[in-house]
């Protein structure tokens, strides 16, 4: 049986739609932080999963491009710009590692507070 309602909405879920966030003034956030600090059970954190994953995917794309460039240079026995390419690869790998570790640590941190 066809789900006509889903077909009318399109292939994306409601989670794919842009968020309409209400941004609070800094003074309000100070009050909320002070209130939440009274009891860790009140702590609520948003993971921003889509943003993290988008960033990781962009970094993976950049690393794949660098890998292709490196392989092409090696295959063609090309030395021009090789040192700069290696520096770019090292920097990109460092950034990718940092992002992956911080995302993993964020999950561990949030899981700890959700379970305790």
Is the confidence at residue 83, as pLDDT, over 90? yes
Distance of CA 1 to the CA centre of its chain: 37
Is the confidence at residue 8, as pLDDT, over 80? no
Helices (H), 10-81: 26-36, 49-75
- pLDDT at site 4: 45
pLDDT tens-digit readout, 94-104: 999 998 888 77
pLDDT tens-digit readout, 15-72: 566 667 666 677 788 888 888 888 877 777 777 888 888 999 999 999 999 999 999 9
Q: Which whole number is the average pLDDT over 65-88?
A: 96
- pLDDT at site 112: 63
- pLDDT at site 7: 47
The residue ranking higher by pLDDT, 48 or 92, is 92
Q: What are 76's two structure tokens?
A: 């063609």
Distance (Å, whole) CA 64 – CA 75: 16
């Amino acid at each position: 049986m066809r789900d006509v309602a889903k077909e009318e909405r399109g292939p994306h879920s409601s989670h794919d739609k842009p968020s309409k966030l209400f941004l609070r003034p800094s003074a309000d956030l100070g009050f909320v932080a002070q209130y939440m600090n009274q009891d860790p059970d009140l702590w609520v954190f948003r993971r921003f999963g889509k943003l993290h994953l988008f960033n990781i995917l962009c970094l993976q794309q950049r690393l794949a491009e660098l890998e292709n460039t490196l392989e092409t240079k090696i295959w063609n026995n090309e030395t021009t710009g090789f040192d700069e390419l290696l520096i770019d690869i090292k920097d990109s790998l460092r950034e990718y590692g940092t992002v992956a570790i911080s995302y993993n640590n964020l999950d561990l941190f949030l899981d700890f507070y959700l379970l305790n």
